[in-house]
Amino acid sequence: MRKVFHVSGRKKTSQVELIDDNSVVVDNERHSYSFERLADGTFMFFLDGRGFSIVDLRSMGMNEGEIGESGEILLVDGHEFSLTVDDEQSLLLKSLLQSQAPSSASVTIRAPMPGLVTKIEVSVGQQVNTGDGLLILEAMKMENEVRCPEKGTVKEIHVGPQTPVEKGSPLITIEH
Amino acid sequence: MRKVFHVSGRKKTSQVELIDDNSVVVDNERHSYSFERLADGTFMFFLDGRGFSIVDLRSMGMNEGEIGESGEILLVDGHEFSLTVDDEQSLLLKSLLQSQAPSSASVTIRAPMPGLVTKIEVSVGQQVNTGDGLLILEAMKMENEVRCPEKGTVKEIHVGPQTPVEKGSPLITIEH
Amino acid sequence: MTTKRQIKRLLIVNRGEIAIRVIRACKEMGITSVALFSEPDRTSLHVQAADEAYPLDGVSAKESYLNQEKILRIAEQAQVDALHPGYGFLSENGSFVERVEQAGFLFVGPSSRAIRAMGDKTSARRIAKSLGIPIVEGTIEPLNSEREGVEIASKIGFPVLIKAAAGGGGKGMRVVQSVEEFSSSFRMAQSEARNAFDDDRVYVEKYVQNPRHVEIQILGDHYGHVIHLGERECSIQRRHQKVIEESPSPIVDDKLRRAMGEAAVMAAKEAGYSNAGTIEFLVDANRNFYFLEMNTRLQVEHPVTEWVTGIDLVKAQLQIAMGEPLPWKQEDIRFTGHALESRIYAEDPRNNFFPSTGTLHIYTTPEGPRVRVDNGFRKGDLISIHYDPLLAKVVTFGSSRHEAIETMKRALSEFIVGGVRTTIPFCEFVLSHEEFRAGSFDTHFVSRTFSASELDRAEQGLLLPAIVASVLLKTSQGSILPQLNHVEKGSHSLWKKRREETYRPS
Amino acid sequence: MTTKRQIKRLLIVNRGEIAIRVIRACKEMGITSVALFSEPDRTSLHVQAADEAYPLDGVSAKESYLNQEKILRIAEQAQVDALHPGYGFLSENGSFVERVEQAGFLFVGPSSRAIRAMGDKTSARRIAKSLGIPIVEGTIEPLNSEREGVEIASKIGFPVLIKAAAGGGGKGMRVVQSVEEFSSSFRMAQSEARNAFDDDRVYVEKYVQNPRHVEIQILGDHYGHVIHLGERECSIQRRHQKVIEESPSPIVDDKLRRAMGEAAVMAAKEAGYSNAGTIEFLVDANRNFYFLEMNTRLQVEHPVTEWVTGIDLVKAQLQIAMGEPLPWKQEDIRFTGHALESRIYAEDPRNNFFPSTGTLHIYTTPEGPRVRVDNGFRKGDLISIHYDPLLAKVVTFGSSRHEAIETMKRALSEFIVGGVRTTIPFCEFVLSHEEFRAGSFDTHFVSRTFSASELDRAEQGLLLPAIVASVLLKTSQGSILPQLNHVEKGSHSLWKKRREETYRPS
């Protein structure tokens, strides 16, 4: 049985096929690798002879709300990557689910850190543009203004003033 | 029930009584303490207000042959201590066992490191003095001469030339 | 003025890397270090590093490291001789220092009088102006009202800066581009200033375009002797907070250094300033300099000065506090090589530098030649929202600026943090940027050149390994090919199977 | 003589801290680093640090890092431009260097001809003698037999030293006090030399009483230009191996430095020596110096010279190998401050400095101001009997010798190793000893002043905490008072119970 995966992230999707214990084909190019687990749970990874250090952050309990079941969060030489890894089954399942979902496009802005909502600067129904201030989140002695990532209409406000929020909590939903 | 312990090591035996979660009496002097386990399995220890970092090496799998059941090996601010900790029951047991044991005094010299015995310089029955060379143990590119710790007679030689030995393996037994 | 008095026991009123920095100086001087800790900090590295430690109640800075009563009570109880405030928290709080003095402790810093004169930004501007040192146009007195601010801003012309009179570290500071923005910025600056310094006075000054931020380190003793230790270039900032500093500055020559140094010494003398302090200047494209403010405490970035001068500023602070005269004359100060600092904050450079909280699942700091790490945390520690997000400072040295930069890039490549996002990739971006490498940049460098997509571009070469590794991790979790990945240390199976050819680079 | 040739890919024929040292220089110079590893080293830190890595077969040094055929085959396969040998292993092996040269690779070190001339101890003595540089009395030629050795030793008078002609690092060296001891020492020196250098030639020299061991660092390019970078004091030795080094030496003044430096440069020029090298001298109580030998490679203790001169010796080595002329004249070399190195070996100072093997259960290295750590290992690594027991080097700097010493004491107090015994407590003993602090010591310092009971004495203050902690650990294991000890992080129970008074020091 062929082991084929689709890996998405950084605005790109690649097709990865595991051939054997030391070779892999990525987008039709063959690469050699080795993968070695170290005592501290990190990995030493060689790809085409170049060495990389890999940390599996997901297995260490780190998971951003957005990543979901098929997501992987890893460090490559200290740099963080969040990638979605699907095999052919899970891809099929996803496309089926997507075709049944309603088509309205909305985006929910989530808290980038735990903190205290100190002020809400918009109201439901309001038109907002990219860069507009939405609310103030206080954390680490700083007041941080959460700004609007894209143009739209405020559909829902999930928090009130003085609400303490966790990282990843929904704050405001914008509808296009 | 009083929790009294006898702690031996560094040519000294102390009597330790645990009073409660933050006080202890050592040789009739009362001391206050706190003991806090850190994420990496080491301990932060305060005794009479001074802070010390404690590592429980025994629980990490380090145990010298000589330490035995009642031994503890720990690091205090990075310095290694091997101490014997007995409660009153285990002390009683020990003294009973000791009184029944034969009184002949002998000492077994053990390998201080893994290595290869390359040469034996004494034979059974030979008189040896403190500092005499007993055998050569090769390790880490060095030939190390194991010397006699005290005067006596060679009672038994546990290894032969070219024997690979583990740390703590008996090498030679000397009888007084 | 003061007689000599030994410090045998020192209370350190801070946490994180700066508390550890002071503890290290204590160890090297034979002084007993006494730490304080809030509830979440009870097993933190600074507590472990100190000789003794006392608990503060509560979690927030206000309840703990800003709790003056409690801190003074512990100072009594622990029978310390002196208090070191570090930076931030109570370090520039004149009324706290006054209470310390009145309780009979030495304060490792200037007198409360000097702090009031120079620490208050508006008062410092008045002093500089009186000495003929150029200042940036704006108010001398704190604003009485929002309306007054709007009027003045309109007069001197937008954009303007609203700044906390008691401020420092970019807190309580806002750029205002237009009248419309003034109101919200004014209130945010006030509120931040109140939180950070317990003092909500703000003032307005002209926002200088394309300036460089250059500061002068000074040291003064109790006998009126003041010297300067050269400059630090601090123009690389995000959110008005420094993130990479260096000494010397690529734009400061001997002549400019002498002029700025003399101005700094003159201002410090006028204020009767003793101990370590820093005068911040703006330098414009024509190398004119303007007095900005004085920081009446140790700076975060003091290590770069330490490396190029060979002087330990914390030890010097302690010696000055003990009443020792400065052992150096101005002409004894020699500058060797080039030093660079990168601040490693728990912040997400891809998300507007928002603080990033979590557990430090992986935390490996750099080592090796010409690298100094001042670090406050270790693997397993929790980074919470309660305190400043500075994790560590990496300082590198080189015989040239080029070597210091290459050493910093190498050091940052060794600094691996997993569990929170950090400014490391951002610092790597700066260090590789042509403008930075050429030494031609200003305080707008970051906003002009940096975006999250720049990080994606820099990390392009890691994407293929990330893709392959993510599949290997995935299959190991889903147990499709479990034998492939989790080769335990000590097992040779995978090794033996692997052909040497595997290692040949493509 | 040589033309310029770029090094784009470098094969590092070593392991541990020195391999990592060279990898760091590569990173800072944009050179691709290629590592080698024996079977037990496959997940070691130097493999992880390198850009690429190739496996050597086998476990022992002979099968792996000394396997010339295999190493040269990998050099071909990996298409490297040059090989860096580090120290030890093949670094001073003339025939290996010849094979490297013949295969068309650059060797980062002197030519095979210069290694043969100066690396061979007996030949070097001949050269020094011919130049009028004083040498220690003894044989010029290697011994043909044990009997010849006994005769010569009897003639020059016991005690004598038997030394490996190819030697270095104290290996293959024995002090012989009397005729009776000669035979066994001779054979042990031969056997060690054969194992370590694959060359069992030994020679005899007079054992100088109470000498100091002082060495001069030199750098030479391919165009006959040679300079010296001052001295290193290396008298603190155990088993004839250095353990603490420093620069400058407390007994070397400008005049002596100049005289020794000139002798060193003269000898190097005579031998047509290029790249980094070290001339070792004995200095007697009257400050007479005697040529001892030349080490034709980078020394373990090179960092102390780097810190006081500001010159990166590994980068200089690479530049020289590429055919660059030395960028410095002798008068450009300036010495600033004082640097000290402590070698952290996996050895038991309580047990005759026997190697100590095991797993590094705990491994925390120091950080902070004026501290450099060159380290080869990490937590979880296994320290085996197969290779040199050097774990790491701690290097500190100070504006004075006193400051460098106090910084070293502070740094060593932060270096926590659990699982193997190390030279850390021994180094702490030396650093606190009056003779060392006064700078008045010789190579017998350790044997004269040190014993295991000195460590007990120094650790006296830790005994009470050790006793109490051992009971707390014991009861936690025996589950007598389990709730007492294993307070998990995050639980406040113990904390809450603890009264503040607990923290008051007695």
Q: What is the pLDDT of residue B132?
A: 84
- pTM value is 0.89
Catalytic residue among D116, D238, D297, D372, which?
A: D297
Strand partners, A102: none
Interface contact B40-C380, CB threshold 8 A: yes
Catalytic residue among C9, C297, C372, C421, which?
A: C297
Mean pLDDT of the residues in chain C: 91
Q: Which token pair is D318?
A: 């690479």
Which stretch of DSSP H or E encloses residue C430? helix C424-432
Burial of A4 (0-12, 13-18, 19+ CB in 10 A): middle
Of all residues in chain C, what percent carry a pLDDT higher than 70?
93
Cβ contact D43:D50 at 8 Å: no
Kindly state whether B78 is in contact with chain C, defined as any CB-CB distance less than 8 angstroms.
Answer: no
In A, which residues are within 8 Å of C425 by CB distance? 79
The gap between the terminal CA atoms of chain D, to the nearest Å, is 73
Q: How many Cα atoms sit within 13 Å of C250 on the Cβ side?
A: 20
Strand partners, A147: A133
Within its chain, how far is the Cα of C413 from the centroid?
21
A102: confidence class by pLDDT, cuts 50, 70, 90: low
A1: confidence class by pLDDT, cuts 50, 70, 90: low
CA gyration radius for chain C? 24
Looking at the predicted structure, is the pLDDT value of residue B145 above 90? no
Interface contact A36-D43, CB threshold 8 A: yes
The nearest alpha carbon in chain C to D413 belongs to C27
Looking at the predicted structure, is the pLDDT value of residue D277 above 90? yes
* Token pair 């010298």: residue: B64
Q: What is the pLDDT of residue D199?
A: 86
Cα–Cα dist B70/D499, whole Å: 32
A129: confidence class by pLDDT, cuts 50, 70, 90: confident
Q: What is the pLDDT of residue B90?
A: 79
Cα–Cα dist C52/C75, whole Å: 12
Give C293-328 pLDDT, tens digit per residue.
Answer: 999 999 999 999 999 999 999 999 999 999 999 999
Q: What is the pLDDT of residue D487?
A: 30
Residue C448 CB neighbours (<10 A): 11
Looking at the predicted structure, is the pLDDT value of residue D439 above 60? yes
Kindly state whether C168 is in contact with chain A, defined as any CB-CB distance less than 8 angstroms.
Answer: no
Q: What is the pLDDT of residue D490?
A: 31
**Residue C277 CB contacts under 8 Å (≥ 6 apart), including other chains:** C110, C118, C217, C218, C219, C220, C268, C294, C295, C296, C297
Return the SS3 of D214: strand
Work out the minimum CA distance from D224 to partner chain A, whole angstroms. 38
C503: confidence class by pLDDT, cuts 50, 70, 90: very low
pLDDT mean over D471-477: 84
Q: What is the pLDDT of residue D271?
A: 94
Which stretch of DSSP H or E encloses residue A115? strand A115-120
- For this structure, is C457 an active site residue? no
Give C219-250 pLDDT, tens digit per residue.
Answer: 999 999 999 999 999 999 998 899 999 999 99
Do the two chains A and B touch, given a threshold of 8 Å on CB pairs and at least 3 pairs? Answer: no
Q: What is the pLDDT of residue C476?
A: 77
Q: What is the pLDDT of residue A32?
A: 96
pLDDT mean over C204-226: 94
Task: Measure Cα distances from C204 to A134, C10, C153, C160, C170 in Å.
Answer: 26, 38, 7, 7, 14
Interface contact B44-C51, CB threshold 8 A: no
Within its chain, how far is the Cα of D265 from the centroid?
22
The gap between the terminal CA atoms of chain B, to the nearest Å, is 43
- Which partners does chain D have (≥3 C-beta pairs < 8 Å)? A, B, C
Looking at the predicted structure, is the pLDDT value of residue D502 above 60? no
- Minimum-distance CB partner of A38 among D43, D51, D52: D43
Phi, psi at residue C326, to the nearest 5°?
Answer: -60, 130
pLDDT mean over D176-204: 89
C104: confidence class by pLDDT, cuts 50, 70, 90: very high
Q: Which ranges in C178-282 belong to alpha helices (H)?
A: 179-197, 254-270
Cα–Cα dist C158/C150, whole Å: 10
C118: confidence class by pLDDT, cuts 50, 70, 90: very high
Give D298-325 pLDDT, tens digit per residue.
Answer: 999 999 999 999 999 999 999 999 999 9
Of A4-18, A138-152, C433-447, D282-296, the least confident: A138-152
3-state secondary structure A35-76: EEECCCCCEEEEECCEEEEEEECCCCCCCCCCCCCCEEEEEE
Kindly state whether B36 is in contact with chain C, defined as any CB-CB distance less than 8 angstroms.
Answer: yes
Q: What is the pLDDT of residue D220?
A: 98
- Minimum-distance CB partner of D310 among C20, C337, C504: C337
Kindly state whether B152 is in contact with chain D, defined as any CB-CB distance less than 8 angstroms.
Answer: no
* Token pair 């391919």: residue: D222
Q: What is the pLDDT of residue D3?
A: 76
Work out the minimum CA distance from D101 to partner chain C, whole angstroms. 23
In D, which residues are within 8 Å of B24 by CB distance? 468, 471
C169: confidence class by pLDDT, cuts 50, 70, 90: low
pLDDT mean over A148-165: 87
Residue D503 CB neighbours (<10 A): 22
pLDDT mean over C204-222: 94
Cβ contact D397:D307 at 8 Å: yes
Cα–Cα dist C282/C280, whole Å: 7
Interface contact B113-D424, CB threshold 8 A: no
Give B29-79 pLDDT, tens digit per residue.
Answer: 999 999 988 888 899 999 999 999 999 998 887 765 555 667 899 999 999
The nearest alpha carbon in chain C to D369 belongs to C372
pLDDT mean over C406-420: 97
Return the SS3 of C59: coil
Please, what sign has the CA dihedral across residues B129, B134, B138, B141? positive
Of all residues in chain C, what percent carry a pLDDT higher than 90?
82
The nearest alpha carbon in chain A to D77 belongs to A49
Strand pairing category for D106-107 and D82-84: parallel
Mean pLDDT of the residues in chain D: 91
Q: What is the pLDDT of residue C195?
A: 81
Phi, psi at residue D414, to the nearest 5°?
Answer: -90, -10
CA gyration radius for chain A? 21
Q: What is the pLDDT of residue A104?
A: 56
The nearest alpha carbon in chain A to C386 belongs to A140
Which stretch of DSSP H or E encloses residue D156? helix D146-156
Looking at the predicted structure, is the pLDDT value of residue A130 above 70? yes
Q: What is the pLDDT of residue D497?
A: 33
Give B83-118 pLDDT, tens digit per residue.
Answer: 999 988 777 777 777 666 555 578 888 887 778 898
Kindly state whether B53 is in contact with chain C, defined as any CB-CB distance less than 8 angstroms.
Answer: yes
Looking at the predicted structure, is the pLDDT value of residue D493 above 60? no
Q: Which token pair is A13?
A: 């999707």
pLDDT mean over D226-252: 96
In B, which residues are within 8 Å of C380 by CB distance? 38-40
Q: Which token pair is C103?
A: 């309780």
Cα–Cα dist B15/C35, whole Å: 32
Give D362-405 pLDDT, tens digit per residue.
Answer: 999 999 999 999 999 999 999 988 899 999 999 999 999 999 99
pLDDT mean over C141-154: 92
A176: confidence class by pLDDT, cuts 50, 70, 90: confident
Give C2-36 pLDDT, tens digit per residue.
Answer: 579 999 999 999 999 999 999 999 999 999 999 99
Q: What is the pLDDT of residue C491?
A: 30
Q: What is the pLDDT of residue C477?
A: 55
**Residue D490 CB contacts under 8 Å (≥ 6 apart), including other chains:** none
Which of C62, C173, C390, C472 is best to mutate for the A interface (most A CBs within 10 A)? C472
D173: confidence class by pLDDT, cuts 50, 70, 90: confident
Which stretch of DSSP H or E encloses residue C417? strand C416-418
Nearest to C302 by CA among C246, C351, C258, C381: C246
**Residue A19 CB contacts under 8 Å (≥ 6 apart), including other chains:** A25, A30
Kindly state whether C358 is in contact with chain B, defined as any CB-CB distance less than 8 angstroms.
Answer: no
Cα–Cα dist D251/D46, whole Å: 37
